[in-house]
Amino acid sequence: MVTKTKGQAPPSEAEFQQAIAQRASRWYSACLRITRNPQLAEDALQDALLNAWTKRHQFQHGARLETWIHSIAVNSALSLLRKQKPGVFSALDDEVEDPAPSAEQAHHHEALNAELDSALRNLTEVERVCFVLRHLEEWTLTEIAIAVDKNANAVKQAVFRAVRKLRERMPTLARTPS
């Protein structure tokens, strides 16, 4: 984990390389779940890494570099979706905290990954994006509403519909508490 303190210079190339080595697969996974397209996910991640490096002087000291890049990657994926469907999504300007999952959570996510990816294909794009941002990326409803340019109630309904559909297709998810 790379954390900067006040008064320090922007992140170095070595710090970026360390963050990329540790978290690139998670950033790609987030982009893939949002875009549902491996090429778009790769493009989003490349754009995010380039933007992060170019704008490293804007990095807020005291924040986690990995979290900052994660937020840029998610916004890049949403931006690519916007380009495909103008007016559907807008970027989230605020940094989103990206807490590291516990070993149990990581194992649970790994075990459900293939089943979840298959079930996500049955959701509408808005349902899928709202579900991924809420339950996999742990964004708040307000943050999602800003990102997808909808009100919080519409986001809440999209997440609710997504969870209901996923529970129908994923018996293991149906046993998991809300």
Residue ranges covered by each domain of the chain: 1-98, 101-171
What pLDDT sits at residue 97?
47
SS3 track for 44-74: HHHHHHHHHHHCHHHCCCCCEHHHHHHHHHH
pLDDT tens digits for 57-107?
888 767 788 888 888 898 888 888 778 765 444 444 444 444 556 677 766
pTM over 0.95: no
Tokens of 12: 């170095």
Dist CA 14 CA 16 (whole Å): 5
Task: Please state, as a whole number, how many other Cβ atoms lie within 10 Å of the Cβ of residue 99.
Answer: 9
Q: Which architecture does CATH list for 1-98?
A: Orthogonal Bundle (1.10)
pLDDT score recorded for residue 157: 95
Domain 101-171 has CATH 3.40.367.20: no
